Amino acid sequence: MKQTIARIAVVVDDYDKAIDFYTKKLDFLLLEDTDLGDGKRWVIIAPQGSNECALVLAKADGEEQASRVGNQTGGRVFLFLYTDDFWRDYYKMVERGIKISREPEKMPYGMVAVFKDLYGNKWDLLEPNEHDE
């Protein structure tokens, strides 16, 4: 039996603003942007080199969903962006004005820093130790 997590929904307030951030600030690829009618779109983005998991940018529908934009996990780190070159990506984020909320630190599992996306969702930027990949 094989199962994979293929998509994770990130609640956003505006499709185009979210696409702009993820593609221009984090260099993600826009894999799909399909108009579903009634103001809804099927928008999928993924980091370059990602083969299995991608993000679905889901525009908030109603007050309850809108209240979750930027805080889908109650303030905990939400997503983990693995990299093959921590310092390359860290310095690029700093240069592009991405908010770093926890400075780089060598941990037993690898080099890590916490950054926030345009909505305030917390992410780990992580270069895992070779044995953890």
pTM for the model: 0.90
Per-residue pLDDT tens digits of the chain, which is 133 residues long = 988 889 999 999 999 999 999 999 999 999 999 999 999 999 999 999 888 899 999 999 999 999 999 999 999 999 999 999 999 999 999 999 999 999 999 999 999 999 999 999 999 999 999 755 5
Q: What are phi and psi of 124, to 5 degrees?
A: -95, 130
| β-strands 54-59, 77-82 pairing | unpaired
* Residue type (1 letter), 50: S
Quick count: other Cβ atoms within 10 Å of Cβ 86? 19
Spell out the domains of the chain, with CATH numbers in brackets.
1-69 (3.10.180.10), 70-133 (3.10.180.10)
